[in-house]
Chains A and B, each alone.
Chain A
Amino acid sequence: MKVLKLYFLSLIMLGLSCRKEPISWNSDWSLVLIQDTLNLNNLVADSILDINTDGSYNLVINRDLLNLNMEDIVVIPDTLIEHNVNIPVSVSVPPGTQFIDQIEDNNFDFGGLQLKKIFLKNGLADISISSPIQTMCIVTLTLPGVTKNGQTFSIEVDVPPGTNANPSVYSTSIDLSEYELDLSGVLGDSYNVIQSQFRVKTNPNGSAVFVNSSQQVNFEVAFKDILPSYARGYFGNRVIQEQQEISLDFMSRIIFGSIDLENINLTLTLFNGIKVGARAKIESLEGLNAQNNSVFLTHPQIGPWIWINQTLGTWDNLQPSAHQINLSSGNSSIEPFFENLPNLLKVNFAFELNPFGNTSGGWDELFSTSFVRAFLTADMPLAIGMNNLTLRDTFALKVGDTGALTPNKGNIEIRYSNAYSFGASLQIQLLDEIGNVLLTKSSESPISGSQNISNSNPVVPVNGEVIFNFNESEMPAILNMDRIVIIAVFNSPGNGQIASVFSDQFFAFKIFSNLSLTTKF
């Protein structure tokens, strides 16, 4: 009986003691995280690299610093013609009798522009007529200077009867695309003038109506969204100021160090594609790097005004005049400018129309194809030397819920094949959600640069691996990281010796995560 009791007791104790601690075991896991091959095309936009016959790169830049089109130079504001036409005498008007016929010159204010003729690419005329006459009236509105395909703009509308208290209103909207506006007045010696003719007659099928001199018939023509395809006149003496910012995103990853560039040669070309006397000025060209260090480009033609001749030809064969400014190591500060590694270029540009007044006699011309442009071009061998050039990039990387798995220790292993002559040492930083650095680790050995590269044998990859070891105490940083920062410090052999970069060169890499995990449940 005693034995039986003990047996039962032991069974109960055994049962109660079940699963007091979790089951666990260790296992080692390896997973490739990133596998990729990079070359210079991955780092910079393809459009700025060209490949020479020997496989080396040329840096090719074709980029607008300034590009003004017709709508930037001739801006026509929305304009309103409004007339309240008084009835001359108080009289009973028989049916079908015209009792108003008024011609007016309407002057526009184009903000300093003195235009004689414009062709419209787009535009609207919102027309509104109101009448207090107690019979239906036939209203004719004619704009003698406004034509399309030789036809003068004219509309004839029936305006319903109205009263003095409640005048009748007629509204319509006319598309002015492809209309020509002659703004030179009746004699052709004026500008910014449109003539209007307004005629009103009573309903020929109605009865006689009494009108008196206290009554008015009103009309409005609102010109809206006028966009010219041709303009002639005097465009005034105006200065157009422009500031352009050109972002070089890939350069923003560089946080330290320097590069040497060889044979930098840039050309800035100023084009004048309008038939207006003009001059231009590059007020400043500033390069800002990721550390906000600024370098201004200096050159004899940066700062002073530069006269640009008028274009020749007409709209279909414009021959813009061009003025070239060559920027080289010899005549400018272009090398320190680029060796500052700018990620933002700021260009301040001024363009002055008619600097000497109305010398064309009101015969300035702009066509739809007209433009004013400052264009930067470069075509030079890409040969660089890097000296502690430090790139920094951040990737979102978060370890999710690991469930029953707990990492004990491990490493990040980078296996690489590097065909570039420059090598790099690596550092990683693990950041939490608010950017606090949880852990900084440096690689135990650098990425080696390839040796024995020559123009005849430009691709001689070197293989190796870089390892970041993590011990158990560093695992919480991995589990809590929100993003990872990779900092790479590049150095060319021979303390930054300049070397050509070839299109077949590459950096291939595989990043592995090797972890010792404890499974526990």
Chain B
Amino acid sequence: MRLIFFLISFTHLVSFAQQTLPVWHDSTQIQREVQWLSSGQLHSSHIGSGMSRIFLFGGFIDDAMKAQSFKTLSNNGLNRTGAVISSDLVYTDYSVNLFGMKEFGLVVLAGYQNYFAASYRSDLYRLLANGNADFSGEIELADTRFFQMAHQKIGFGMVDKKTRSTFAISLVNSSGYQNFDLINGVFRQSPDKDTTDILLVGDYQSNNLGSFSNGLGAAIDVDLRIPVTVGKYNALIQIVAQNIGFVRYNKASNQYSIDSLYRYTGFSLNQVQGLGNETFSLADSLNFNPQKGGQTQYLPGFLQVAKIVDVSSLNRFQSFFGINMYTQIIYLPQAFAGIHYKVNRFFSTGLHGSYGGFGGARIGFYSDFTLGQFKIGLSSQDVLGTLSNSGFGHSLLMRLTWQQK
């Protein structure tokens, strides 16, 4: 099982894409299907593509890049940056009758997801980027959040042969998570920089021991396909609930709570002389209350309601639109809409726009190729960001499908 998890986890290294688009439905008769969907996105409300490319591939963030990111910081002060890397391998067998029921086939899946999200005030971003040397005044720290969780899953379920709706239940393993939530906070520095006040009210939980498994849990994946007819138009509505579940982390998990106002004015000479072998601990000064023990964390699940594309349709143009979200507070609901164009039976393409998630508006593009029993899809939800420096992130998706009809 570890080998399977490893192979699936590895796939995100060789593909870099985004998860949500395009969404299509294939209503043709299929015996069995294997689909490998690998996606990744990095999206920010203010970090430009040039700088976010450095976050992905490494490099030096120069003053010009920082200045550019300062220009697009939120006016109300709260900014978001996030990244989701996922890879899923799904085997669907329509030829078997699951539990003797001829309406249902078998689904076996394995997947990997690493979710990272952060929200922070503009002043805090400037402080971390530039330092405090030229700063004086007050920084609001409330609503500073950071969440990261990596998990793998392996599961099985059923597929409705007629509607292609699926339901699966999975065993979930997590190699770690971090959750930082600052409910209230202020950083204040005097003009002379000789007095610093820090108010912190919040929590931090983590389990990052570096081992493969630090917690186990369960999750369900539901993909409902509902045909609807409006007047003379037929449409297919998809309702997705993915990774809805939890992980119970082991007793080595850490939890820190803090409710502290600390004023730092430097040490006195007596304190310095008396320090000797003692070590000053900011954590102690800030009154951190560490605790160890098992913890339960919900997975960052994915919900989507959409009108999707039916690739079996004879129409050359089809629309698709919908709304999706992660069950995590930093990610805002994202609306998307696009147009699908079927060039011929081997090739189709599409253009779409989206707004929300970790940032603002993005324009996406995708192409699907059919080569015999194989379908290959390539997509980006953020074409500008991926191919130029003018966007606010990167997005790539690769979908490889093998179908036996």
Instruction: Indicate whether A20 sits within 8 Å of B194 (C-beta atoms), given known contacts A27-B129, A29-B132, A396-B276.
Output: no
The residues in A between 352 and 409 inclusive whose CB is less than 8 angstroms from any CB of B are 395-397, 400
| Partner among B133, B194, B275 whose Cβ is within 8 Å of the Cβ of A29 | B133
| Partner among A16, A27, A36 whose Cβ is within 8 Å of the Cβ of B268 | A36
| Partner among B62, B129, B194, B277 whose Cβ is within 8 Å of the Cβ of A396 | B277
Residues of chain B lying within 8 A (CB to CB) of residue A510: 192, 194, 266
Q: How far is the CA of A15 from the CA of B57 in the complex (A)?
A: 9
B283 at interface, CB cutoff 8 A: no
In the complex, are the beta carbons of A35 and B265 less than 8 A apart?
yes
Q: How far is the CA of A28 from the CA of B275 in the complex (A)?
A: 27
A165 at interface, CB cutoff 8 A: no
A2 at interface, CB cutoff 8 A: no
| Partner among A19, A27, A29, A34 whose Cβ is within 8 Å of the Cβ of B56 | A19
| Partner among B265, B270, B273, B378 whose Cβ is within 8 Å of the Cβ of A32 | B265
In the complex, are the beta carbons of B276 and A4 less than 8 A apart?
no
Contact with A along B107-146 (1 / 0, CB 8 A): 0000000000000000000001111111000000000000
Q: How far is the CA of A20 from the CA of B58 in the complex (A)?
A: 6
Residues of chain B lying within 8 A (CB to CB) of residue A24: 59-61
B193 at interface, CB cutoff 8 A: yes
CB nearest neighbor in B for A517 = B131
A250 at interface, CB cutoff 8 A: no
Contact with B along A268-279 (1 / 0, CB 8 A): 000000000000
B13 at interface, CB cutoff 8 A: yes
In the complex, are the beta carbons of B396 and A28 less than 8 A apart?
no
In the complex, are the beta carbons of A11 and B58 less than 8 A apart?
no
A188 at interface, CB cutoff 8 A: no
| Partner among B15, B134, B266, B279 whose Cβ is within 8 Å of the Cβ of A400 | B279
In the complex, are the beta carbons of A27 and B54 less than 8 A apart?
no
| Partner among B193, B267, B275 whose Cβ is within 8 Å of the Cβ of A30 | B193
In the complex, are the beta carbons of B66 and A25 less than 8 A apart?
yes
Q: How many A-B residue pairs have CB under 8 A?
A: 103
Instruction: Indicate whether A23 sits within 8 Å of B134 (C-beta atoms), given known contacts A4-B369, A400-B279.
Output: no
A103 at interface, CB cutoff 8 A: no
In the complex, are the beta carbons of A18 and B57 less than 8 A apart?
yes
In the complex, are the beta carbons of A11 and B16 less than 8 A apart?
yes
B317 at interface, CB cutoff 8 A: no
Residues of chain B lying within 8 A (CB to CB) of residue A36: 266, 268-270
| Partner among A18, A42, A395 whose Cβ is within 8 Å of the Cβ of B272 | A395
In the complex, are the beta carbons of B193 and A25 less than 8 A apart?
no
The residues in B between 309 and 333 inclusive whose CB is less than 8 angstroms from any CB of A are none
Q: How far is the CA of A7 from the CA of B380 in the complex (A)?
A: 13
Q: How far is the CB of B135 from chain A (nearest CB, A)?
A: 9
In the complex, are the beta carbons of A12 and B266 less than 8 A apart?
no
B6 at interface, CB cutoff 8 A: no
A511 at interface, CB cutoff 8 A: yes
In the complex, are the beta carbons of A33 and B267 less than 8 A apart?
yes
In the complex, are the beta carbons of B133 and A15 less than 8 A apart?
no
Instruction: Indicate whether A514 sits within 8 Å of B133 (C-beta atoms), given known contacts A7-B378, A24-B61, A36-B268.
Output: yes
B239 at interface, CB cutoff 8 A: no
Residues of chain B lying within 8 A (CB to CB) of residue A187: none
Residues of chain A lying within 8 A (CB to CB) of residue B273: 395
In the complex, are the beta carbons of A21 and B58 less than 8 A apart?
yes
In the complex, are the beta carbons of B15 and A34 less than 8 A apart?
no
Q: How far is the CB of B172 from chain A (nearest CB, A)?
A: 25
In the complex, are the beta carbons of B269 and A23 less than 8 A apart?
no
Residues of chain A lying within 8 A (CB to CB) of residue B57: 17-21
Q: How far is the CA of A33 from the CA of B132 in the complex (A)?
A: 15
In the complex, are the beta carbons of B13 and A15 less than 8 A apart?
yes
In the complex, are the beta carbons of B193 and A35 less than 8 A apart?
no
Instruction: Indicate whether A15 sits within 8 Å of B15 (C-beta atoms), given known contacts A23-B61, A24-B61.
Output: yes
Contact with B along A22-49 (1 / 0, CB 8 A): 1111011111111110100010000000
Q: How far is the CB of A398 from chain B (nearest CB, A)?
A: 8
Q: How far is the CA of A514 from the CA of B66 in the complex (A)?
A: 21
Residues of chain B lying within 8 A (CB to CB) of residue A30: 131-133, 193
The residues in B between 352 and 405 inclusive whose CB is less than 8 angstroms from any CB of A are 369, 376, 378, 396, 398
In the complex, are the beta carbons of B58 and A511 less than 8 A apart?
no
In the complex, are the beta carbons of B376 and A29 less than 8 A apart?
no
In the complex, are the beta carbons of A11 and B398 less than 8 A apart?
yes
Residues of chain A lying within 8 A (CB to CB) of residue B264: 32
Residues of chain B lying within 8 A (CB to CB) of residue A22: 58
Q: How far is the CB of B369 from chain A (nearest CB, A)?
A: 7
Q: How far is the CB of B291 from chain A (nearest CB, A)?
A: 24
A14 at interface, CB cutoff 8 A: yes
Q: How far is the CA of A34 from the CA of B265 in the complex (A)?
A: 8
| Partner among A19, A27, A29, A512 whose Cβ is within 8 Å of the Cβ of B58 | A19
Residues of chain A lying within 8 A (CB to CB) of residue B194: 32, 35, 510, 512
B3 at interface, CB cutoff 8 A: no
In the complex, are the beta carbons of A28 and B130 less than 8 A apart?
yes
Residues of chain B lying within 8 A (CB to CB) of residue A400: 279
CB nearest neighbor in B for A410 = B133
Residues of chain B lying within 8 A (CB to CB) of residue A17: 57
In the complex, are the beta carbons of B193 and A11 less than 8 A apart?
no
Residues of chain A lying within 8 A (CB to CB) of residue B55: 23
Q: How far is the CB of B395 from chain A (nearest CB, A)?
A: 13
CB nearest neighbor in A for B135 = A30
Instruction: Indicate whether A27 sits within 8 Å of B130 (C-beta atoms), given known contacts A11-B398, A18-B57, A510-B266.
Output: yes
The interface of chain B, by Cβ under 8 A from chain A, is 13-16, 54-62, 66, 128-134, 192-196, 264-270, 272-273, 275-277, 279, 369, 376, 378, 396, 398
Beyond A27-B130, A28-B134, A517-B131, 10 additional contacts (C-beta under 8 Å) are A11-B16, A18-B57, A25-B61, A25-B62, A27-B128, A30-B131, A32-B194, A32-B196, A34-B269, A510-B266
> Across chains A and B, which 3 residue pairs bring their CB atoms closest together, nearest first?
A27-B131, A28-B133, A35-B266
7 contacts between A and B (CB under 8 A): A11-B14, A18-B16, A21-B59, A25-B62, A30-B131, A36-B268, A396-B275
